[in-house]
Homo-oligomer: A and B are copies of this chain.
């Protein structure tokens, strides 16, 4: 393969920087364009000094990019701003969009949760939802992949196979999720200051977070019926990491052991998904900086209920890592290419 020329749109945010980190040393992909409209003209190292040892192009404005010289685009722009940008890209460009703009297949649901009509409804129809382990085949031939949200990734990886196997019930699913602060992005908001976040926790977006419909859409597909979830995210004093503690009812008298066995079977050959042995507890720090998802299942004290927990790094498997995993597939590469970094602990 000749070298793939990669553009990262929105490289001045955390997911953009994370892509740069993970693309460093990639044997086939080369970053040739980095955009950051407000910081156009600056070297990336002035925005992200930790990437200063790499040789990289300076930031430019999107309007100044010659996309005829680009093969692949990672789109790290804010939600709602992406539809028109992607609609304007030449047809030969492969796109992984990390925003929420193409995740909801229902235009009505999109309008309801995002407050405006979708601006690229034709393109939406062609977008493939990029949960790699579940949609691998479709991703291989996609031109536009809607990269999943971080919370949905952490929830779907354990629950989708359990639904497909008929081992859990669609009713009464409660998801109590905890996310690192990088999920809130790099914009300067009082609520995300160090002093406001450290050494504390609180829930946010209770019963109103936009990842709920995304979770329900995909779980519904797996379950073959509508799914309505309780979903309560919490902001954590950590930069990275996401833990979903999921309370579900089992079907057919299944136990935690049955569910664990099924997940172990389904994910046995997966390079990035680990089902822990009985009793071992997934911890976010054990996936930090890696593309891994670790999960386990525990019997609850309430009969007929189990507790599923799963952890990812929200910036990697929950965003940029999965994006690269998808782009690898879209270019016919092993999906693990340049994604073998082990977790950074401590």
The residues of A with any CB-CB pair to B shorter than 8 Å are 14, 17, 20-21, 24-25, 48-54, 172, 174, 176, 178, 180-182, 186-190, 192-204, 206-207, 212, 228-232, 234, 236-241, 243, 245, 247, 271, 274, 276, 280-290, 292, 294, 298-302, 305, 307, 309, 311, 340-346
Chain B residues positioned under 8 Å from A284 (CB to CB): 200-202
Q: Contacts A188-B190, A241-B201, A302-B172 hold; do A195 and B51 have CB atoms under 8 A apart?
A: no
Cα(A204)–Cα(B200), bound, Å: 19
Partner of A182, one of B180, B195, B302: B195
Contact B54 A342 (CB under 8 A): yes
Nearest first, the 6 closest Cβ-Cβ pairs linking A and B are A200-B285, A195-B346, A202-B283, A194-B197, A176-B176, A50-B286
**Identical subunits present:** 4
Q: Is the CB of A194 within 8 A of B188?
A: no
Given contacts A247-B230, A346-B182, contact A207 B301 (CB under 8 A): yes
Q: List the B side residues contacting A282 at CB < 8 Å.
A: 202
Given the known A-B contacts A192-B194, A195-B186, A300-B230, are A206 and B343 also in contact in the complex, defined by CB atoms under 8 Å? no
Partner among B50, B176, B192, B240 whose Cβ is within 8 Å of the Cβ of A343:
B50
A-B CB contact pairs (8 Å), 26 listed = A48-B345, A50-B344, A53-B292, A53-B342, A186-B195, A188-B190, A192-B193, A194-B194, A194-B196, A194-B198, A194-B237, A194-B239, A195-B346, A199-B199, A199-B237, A200-B286, A201-B283, A202-B284, A203-B245, A206-B309, A207-B300, A230-B305, A230-B307, A236-B237, A237-B238, A240-B346
Least distance between A268 CB and chain B CB atoms (Å): 13
| Complexed CA–CA distance, A202 and B178 (Å) | 10
Contact between A230 and B194, CB atoms less than 8 A apart: no
Among residues of B, the one whose C-beta sits closest to the C-beta of A279 is B206
A342 CB contacts on chain B under 8 angstroms: 20-21, 24, 50-51, 53-54
> How distant is the Cα of A186 from the Cα of B193 in the complex, in angstroms?
8
Is B289 a contact partner of A289 (Cβ separation < 8 A)?
yes
Question: Please, how many angstroms separate the alpha-carbon atoms of A188 and B287 in the complex?
Answer: 23
Given A21-B342, A49-B286, A194-B196, A234–B230 Cβ distance below 8 Å? no
